[in-house]
A and B are shown apart, each in its own frame.
Chain A
Amino acid sequence: MQVPHSRFRHPFDALNSAGAEKRHQLVICCVHGHEVSRAVCGFLRDEGIDCRYLVGGFEAWREADLPVEPIDGH
């Protein structure tokens, strides 16, 4: 499951396709919301991308009873 309308990316794919995201504002969400999303966010910011990460990650999102959907709409 994932946050609705988000796109699922392997962290390394997210870094390697950074160039394509330059015009967007991004929020990065991982499972727990500390290390991986923070690291990806740091990389993307270095690439000049406007980027935040979701504190608490998908776990916190789900605990807050916010809506979820299957990964990438599948």
Chain B
Amino acid sequence: MKTVLITGANRGLGLEVAHQLGAKGFHVLAGIRNAEAGRRAEALLRGAGIRADYVPLDMAAPDMIAAAADMIAGMAGGLDVLINNAAVHYDTHQRVGAPDFAIVEEALAINTVGAWRMTVAALPHLLRSEAPRIVNVSSESGAWSSMTGTTPAYSLSKIGLNALTRMMASEFRGDGILVNAVCPGWTATDMGGGGRPVPEGARGIVWAATLPDDGPTGGFFRDGKPIDW
């Protein structure tokens, strides 16, 4: 049975990705920072017949990230797929000329450095997998080619995540780990506040998590199709 760790799996895209991958037979490890939300997500996934375990995980807490990687190895015996999904601060109220730097720093800590730390912690386990995959859930807001002065904290955090995707893909290519950035498109979660149905947004993430061995690495995709960096 393949295993997947999804950060921020208690609602929105993370929970739906857990649902879709669980339905494909994955053992889902749901990284969630709030204990009640964690138990709830676990109950729902199990209710849907999915093998799921809640893993306490706050992406702002480096110790918890390290502990979570070891916990999943113990619970599931290994890890095949990491989905860096958790994110905060889609700061539509801010402009680059007048940001609240506390928000900028938190966005970078969770969305970018958190995903980086999680990847490093998961790496020894991924290296033992036969088909390791990393999906960095990013956004077109982090595309260099269409960068504007809006959502500055979020955009900076996602272009950073895109850069990490390139670095990781290059570094881990020889180990067979496929690393890609995926934009789910505008999706009707709390963060999206509107947009397409959550299952549709989740599909492109699931696609990147289940790529065949000769699939792409170091790419930026939406709905399984390349988009501009």
Contact with A along B184-215 (1 / 0, CB 8 A): 00001000000001110000000000000000
Stretch of B43-51, B107-115, B141-149, B175-183 lying at the A interface: B43-51
Alpha-carbon distance between A44 and B107 when the two chains are bound, in angstroms: 26
Q: Mark B114-143, 1 if CB is under 8 A from A, else 0.
A: 000000000000000000000000000000
Interface: B15 (CB within 8 A): yes
List of B residues within 8 angstroms of A15 by Cβ: 15, 44
Taking a contact as CB atoms under 8 Å apart, the answer to whether A35 and B43 are in contact is: yes
* Nearest A-chain residue to B10, judged by Cβ: A43
Q: Is B58 an interface residue (CB 8 A)?
A: no
CB distance A12 to B48 under 8 Å?
Answer: yes
- A29: chain B residues within 8 A (beta carbon): none
Complex Cα spacing A46 to B15, Å: 15
> Measured between alpha carbons, how far is A40 from B44 in the docked complex, in Å?
7
Residues of A within 8 A of B19 (CB): 12
Interface size on A, as a range, is 10 to 19
Residue interface bits B1-23, CB-to-A below 8 A is 1, else 0: 00000000001000110010000
Residues of the B chain whose Cβ atoms lie less than 8 Å from the Cβ of A30: 47
Are A39 and B198 in touch, CB under 8 angstroms?
Answer: no
Q: Which residues in A have their C-beta under 8 angstroms from that of B47?
A: 11, 30, 35-36, 39
A36 touches which of B11, B15, B37, B43 (Cβ 8 Å): B43
Decide if A19 is an interface residue (CB 8 Å cutoff).
yes
Beyond A15-B15, A40-B44, 15 extra complex contacts between A and B, CB < 8 Å: A11-B48, A12-B19, A12-B48, A16-B197, A30-B47, A35-B47, A36-B43, A36-B47, A39-B40, A39-B47, A42-B36, A42-B40, A43-B40, A43-B44, A46-B11
Report B's interface with A, CB cutoff 8 A. 11, 15-16, 19, 36-37, 39-41, 43-44, 46-48, 188, 197-199
